[in-house]
Amino acid sequence: MPTPETDAAARAPPIVIGGPTASGKSALAVALAERLDGAVVNADSMQLYRALSILTARPGPDALARAPHRLFGIAEPEDIWSAGRWRRRAVEEIDAARSEGKLPIVVGGTGLYLQALTEGIADVPAADPAIRERLRTLLAERGNEAMHRMLSERDPEGAAAIRPSDPQRILRALEVLEATGEPLHAWHARQTPPAEDGRAALQLLLMPDRDAVYAACDARFDGMMADGALAEARAVGAAGLDPRLPMMKAVGLPPLLAHCRGELDLDGAVAAAKRDTRRYARRQMTWFRNRSKPDRVIAAQYSESLLPEIFSFISDFRLTLSR
């Protein structure tokens, strides 16, 4: 039963934990949830998908037994999630956690999701499936550079901010332009306020040394393979899903699917998956370094030895807010 101390914690602003993959974010979130009577809310775009539990390192039975978890494994493969859609659901889950007397602890490596929660986001209209499919067909026929030129002719400012090698952002910009008559950057200029006050939410950033993150990525993927990642990939491949779906781009999945199709031997697929994971971690670290606004950077891989320091900081932060 919650104590007066945990009741107070549940009324407090959420704790938000970001960082690159394999930095120990989830373990830290569970440790805090155990000690602060919290509920863990997912902010990882791939951990939303029900079909990918192993390859996305979704919390397992032990973590689920130690603390309530929300927004994990709720999406079907065909679902497409934007930062705006996630934000709406995350607010619902944060409110639900609070109504149960739990402190919301938001954790994930999708920086844009965390930014949407604490800084606000442009309320861009939802995707139009018909427009999206037509543009995807054009992309398949014409290629990235031709679509980028098309965007440049209609929205030079928007095109200048997107690399020709980034088809997902090119298509999104064209899609919004066609659906609304306005460029995407115009929508971004009308950003909504944050769902949670970024000044009150306690934001922690795990940023270990890059080599340590890379080593952790490699070791974790070996563990995924031992836990059945190949069988998970094979099941996804057997479902005959559209390869352009966001879920199909989950880090580590494409090389394993290539192996299942006979295009790569297993050693080559594992090596490619590890390489892709390290590259993804590097992109995350760059994003968090340049765009996040943490209250505390923890420059180490999470371990329980860090907890006294982290709890001391949380206590000091709350004391400062209360003044």
Cα R_g (the chain), whole angstroms? 20
Mark which of 168, 188, 208 sits at the end of a domain: 188
Looking at residue 130, its pLDDT comes to: 85
On whether both 204 and 308 belong to a single domain, the answer is: yes
Whose CA is closest to 46, among 317, 204, 276, 258? 276
Lowest mean per-residue pLDDT among 20-24, 108-112, 127-131: 127-131
The stretch 125-148 carries a mean pLDDT of 88
Q: How far apart are CA 93 and CA 97, in angstroms?
A: 6
Same domain for 99 and 152? no
Say if residue 295 is exposed, middle or buried (CB neighbours under 10 Å; 0-12, 13-18, 19+): middle
CA 226/CA 322 separation, integer angstroms:
48
Query: What pLDDT sits at residue 77?
Result: 96
Per-residue pLDDT at 86 exceeds 50: yes
Q: Kindly state the average pLDDT of the residues 160-184.
A: 90
177 and 78 in a common domain: no
Domain with residue 135: its CATH number is 1.10.20.140
pTM over 0.75: yes
Q: Where is pLDDT greater, at 159 or 191?
A: 159
Query: What's the confidence (pLDDT) of residue 121?
Result: 78
Which residue range(s) make up the domain with 181? 129-188
Instruction: Name the band, by pLDDT with cuts 50, 70 and 90, for residue 5.
Output: very low
Specify whether 167 is located in the same domain as 49: no
Q: Based on the fold, state whether residues 48 and 181 are members of the same structural domain.
A: no
pLDDT tens, position by position, 188-216? 777 665 655 454 699 999 999 999 999 99
pLDDT of residue 194: 61
pLDDT band at residue 21 under the 50/70/90 scheme: very high
**Which pLDDT value is given to residue 322?**
66
- Per-residue pLDDT tens digits for 209-265: 999 999 999 999 999 999 999 999 999 999 999 998 999 999 999 999 999 999 999
Place of tokens 């070996």: 222
Could you report the per-residue pLDDT of 91-125, keeping only the tens digit for each? 999 999 999 999 999 999 999 999 999 988 776 77
For residue 18, give the 3-state DSSP assignment: strand
Asked if residue 217 and residue 169 are part of one domain, the reply reads no
Q: How confident is the model at residue 8 (pLDDT cuts 50, 70, 90)?
A: low
Question: Is residue 84 very low, low, confident or very high in pLDDT (cuts 50, 70, 90)?
Answer: confident
For the residues 32-57, what does the mean pLDDT come to? 98
How far is it, in rounded angstroms, from Cα 303 to Cα 281? 19
Q: Which of 86, 87, 64 is nearest to 75 (CA)?
A: 86
Q: Tokens 């402190």 — which residue?
A: 103
**Residue in this structure with the two tokens 């080599």, named with its chain if needed:** 211
CA–CA gap between residue 40 and residue 26 (Å, rounded): 9
For residue 125, give the 3-state DSSP assignment.
coil
* Angstrom distance (rounded) from CA 85 to CA 71: 12
Q: Which residue's entry shows tokens 């938001």?
A: 106
The predicted pLDDT at position 192 comes to 61
H helices of the chain, in order, are 4-11, 25-36, 61-66, 83-99, 111-119, 129-142, 144-154, 156-160, 167-180, 184-188, 210-227, 229-238, 253-260, 266-291, 307-322
134 and 174 together in one domain:
yes
From CA 128, how far away is CA 243, in angstroms rounded? 19
**Do residues 54 and 226 touch, judged by C-beta distance below 8 A?**
no
Residues 105 and 41 in one domain: yes
For residues 212 and 291, membership in a common domain is answered with yes
Give the pLDDT confidence score for residue 292 in this predicted structure. 94
pLDDT at 71 over 60: yes
pLDDT of 1: 47
pLDDT for the residue 132: 86
Please indicate, yes or no, whether residues 141 and 242 belong to a single structural domain of this protein: no
Q: How would residue 317 be classed by pLDDT, with cut points 50, 70 and 90?
A: confident
CATH number of the domain encompassing residue 87: 3.40.50.300
Instruction: Write down which residue in 140, 158, 188 finishes a domain.
Output: 188
Average pLDDT, the chain: 91
- 180: pLDDT confidence band, cut at 50, 70 and 90? confident
Last residue of a domain, one of 146, 161, 188: 188
Same domain, 116 and 133: no
Considering the domain architecture, whether residues 143 and 230 belong to the same structural domain is answered as no
Number of domains in the chain: 2
pLDDT at position 265 = 98
